[in-house]
Chains A and B, each alone.
Chain A
Amino acid sequence: MRFVESESEVAFRKEARAWLEENVPSEPRPHDGPAAREYDLAWQRRLYEAGWAGINWPAEYGGRDLPLSQQIIWVEECVRANAPGPGCLIGALNHAGPTLMMYGTQEQKDRHLPKILSGQEVWCQGFSEPEAGSDLAGIRTRAVVDGDHLVVTGQKIWTSYADLADYQELLVRTDPDAPKHKGISWVICDMRSPGIEVRPIRLMGGDNHFSEIFYDEVRIPLANVVGGLNNGWKVAMATLNFERGTAFMADQLKLTRIAQELVELAKVVPAPSGRGKAIDDGEIRAALARAVIGSRTLQSMTYQLVSRQVAGVPGAADSSLLRIQFSLVAQYIHRLAMRLRGADGLVDDSELGERSWTYNYLWSFQTSIGGGTREIQRDIVGNRHLLLPR
């Protein structure tokens, strides 16, 4: 238990800060569509060319092979500089890539990893189905072996960025007779294959973040199976672990910045009570305190989670504990922003992209649903962390 920043960490932070100050694009990221894809790929290429891509990826796959601590510093500096996140590349960079490194064949790695890192390939994740959300092992999308191909028929839902993706991490049932965890395979699906239909789901904020995907006898080469036929559950658990690691860290740290922006906002906007500035109102200051301190809890909890991972003593439900707190704090902060902005909040400012207050307010509702509802997360905490009876 200690805080130390080594000389190399200090130097790395300085270098990152200086580069970001020069290079962060001033135009906001578009919410969705081809423009969002172009924006994300362009940013990733810029990072790649300057040597900032794959900070903790192994050198053999084109990464810099730096320790997790430097990856964390990078995320901290990106948040500080208001730099774009990975956007639609999050799947490729944060879990498809690492999963291929762990379980992919040499050919699969050679084909995909360099393109992922250099911002040429977008990946989405085909795990959830209408009848298999929280109960993932219940997937029904089936794949039948036909010669050297799998023939896939079924449906996926809640797939982020499916409309923008080139490839998909697809989970299919390859042995319907095996026990439910044993008949699953993890395959690389080319999203341009005949028989795939992507129907975007328009969210209440107006953007098409998620899609439904229908598969009608889609042919996928058997060579695209990752980690062996019927061994997909194990591979999927590795994927989810990568996803639950530090993937959300930027979102968590970003709330610290937004909470501070609210304090600044309160100095200039009128108090909701109509008397004086918002900051002069004791009740508003108490609400700001809750927002600021809430965002700080996320920071501390993230460092605690990462410390446990590094020390090899992860808790059984660390990511669920953090996810619950994250959703509570995120929703509180964005609700408070609406309160402070008063009638200004009635003006749609979604042209500000990811910096839009109204869009972010509506977005905050999905933080207690996506990635497992808050209720499922509470079940996980109760069952796995507190070991309560089921």
Chain B
Amino acid sequence: MYDLVPDETQRAIIDTARDVAGAWTAGDRDGWDAAVRSGLLALGTAEEHGGAGAGACGEMLALIELGAVRATPAVLAPMLAAHLLAARPDLAERTGLSVTGVLTGEQPVALADSWQWHHDAAPGTDWRVLPAAGARWAVAVSPAGLQLLDVQAAEAVPGFDRDVPLARVTGSALGEPAGPALVDRALTLAAALQVGLARQVLDVCVAYAKARHQFGKPIGSFQAVKHMLADMAVELEAAQACTAHSAVLIDAGVEDGMAARTAKVVAGQAAVTVTRLGIQVHGGIGVTAECDMHRYLRRAHLLEQLFGSSDFHGEGVVRSLAALPG
């Protein structure tokens, strides 16, 4: 039986995550400090590795809150690195990294996203990285699984999302990729950031539609606007449900090969669609630099490409259902 409603412990996680999210609005430094201090990064790590054992569900609920304040997606790096190190003790030995080290920020790790989500590049040669200051290692996510990347040459590139520094790096990846369970985890956590983003944009738009008056009435009372907002709510509801569905299956150890990809596709589309409609709801102010909508839009596109786009995973879902090769 599926229970997709947070229980008491999970509601406490949401409260903690909201505090961390509050700190993040003051800047990345404060955000990272609060995330480490509150134990948020260690939520999903097993208790035997010093984590809270709250599973993928706990991580997902926390990341929805962080996604809402546009915390950097690099926040996924220590979480995923900890899972990888816990699953592959040999990597800890080879790199000197430890679960505790990455979760406390003493050993910073960057997040690397493979170009293979987009092209048929040779494995492990070309990565796009969300850097962490002073990070020598990055946790690299590719279709084949998770690896640790020894960052060699890095070239900063201007980011479409100006709030997230990007670099294109070459490096060598250590060992065989760990997957597919960790890939499912990565997809689900990225989807959580997308759900948070979509939820926040909808909230902002609803507030604006109540406050902004034209023809002597709040614009949210006009059906054309109201129905646009209702459609955004449907997108969000679907994204939330699919992401929660995937997280509970991961925690139950059920691999159905569909849920995580579905979550990433649905949440990705929701984040982009809700943000695009959100600009329209805002009218003139929506297309200005002064309004935050473009920042949400830029983030939605970054997250849509992270760990494979909706098109990429949609294709994967159909190929596996049809039993077609890779």
A binds B: yes
Interface residues of A (CB under 8 A from B): 1-6, 9, 69, 72, 260, 263-264, 266-267, 279, 282, 285-286, 288-290, 292-293, 296-297, 299-301, 303-304, 306-308, 310-311, 313, 321-322, 324-325, 375, 377-379, 381-383, 385-390
Contact A386 B233 (CB under 8 A): yes
The distance in angstroms between the C-alpha atoms of A335 and B317, with both chains bound, is 20
Q: Which of B1-9, B25-33, B36-44, B116-124 contacts A (4 or more CB under 8 A)?
A: B1-9
Question: Smallest CB–CB gap between A282 and chain B, Å?
Answer: 8
Q: List 15 A-B contacts (CB under 8 A).
A: A1-B7, A1-B57, A1-B247, A3-B248, A266-B322, A292-B318, A292-B321, A293-B314, A296-B242, A297-B266, A300-B262, A301-B237, A303-B241, A304-B237, A389-B221
Shortest CB–CB separation between residue B255 and chain A, in angstroms? 12
Binds A, one of B70-78, B135-143, B223-231, B272-280: B223-231
Provided the pairs A3-B248, A304-B244 are in contact, do residues A381 and B234 lie with their beta carbons within 8 angstroms? yes
Residues of B contacting A308 in the complex (Cβ-Cβ under 8 angstroms):
4-5
> Can you name the residue of chain B whose Cβ is closest to the Cβ of A298?
B238
B311:A388 contact, CB within 8 angstroms: no
In the complex, which residues of chain B have a beta carbon less than 8 angstroms from the beta carbon of A282?
315
Q: Which residue of A is nearest B205, CB measured?
A: A386
Partner of A3, one of B2, B231, B262, B322: B2
Chain B residues near A377: list those with CB within 8 A. Answer: 230
Q: Which of B247-288 contact A (CB under 8 A)?
A: 247-249, 251-252, 254, 258-259, 262, 265-266
- When A and B form their complex, which 6 residue pairs have the shortest distance between CB atoms, in order from nearest? A289-B314, A300-B241, A69-B1, A382-B226, A378-B230, A381-B230
Please tell me the size bucket of the interface on B: 35 or more
Enumerate chain B residues within 8 angstroms of A267, measured Cβ to Cβ: 322
B317 and A292 contacting across the interface, CB-CB below 8 Å? yes
Task: Indicate whether A286 sits within 8 Å of B206 (C-beta atoms), given known contacts A4-B252, A311-B5, A386-B230.
Answer: no
List residues of B whose CB falls within 8 A of some A CB.
Answer: 1-7, 10, 57, 61, 202, 206, 209-210, 217-218, 220-221, 223, 226-227, 229-231, 233-234, 237-238, 240-242, 244-245, 247-249, 251-252, 254, 258-259, 262, 265-266, 311, 314-315, 317-319, 321-322, 324
Chain A residues closer than 8 Å to B321, beta-carbon distance: 260, 263, 292
Report whether A386 and B229 are in contact in the complex, using a CB–CB cutoff of 8 Å: yes
Dominant SS among interface residues on chain A? helix
What's the Cα separation between A375 and B170 when bound, in Å? 52
| Smallest CB separation, B319 vs chain A (Å) | 8
With contact pairs A1-B57, A263-B322, A379-B223 given, residues A300 and B238 touching in the complex (Cβ less than 8 Å):
yes
Asked if residues B241 and A304 are in contact (CB atoms below 8 Å), the reply is yes
**B5: chain A residues within 8 A (beta carbon):** 1, 304, 307-308, 310-311, 313
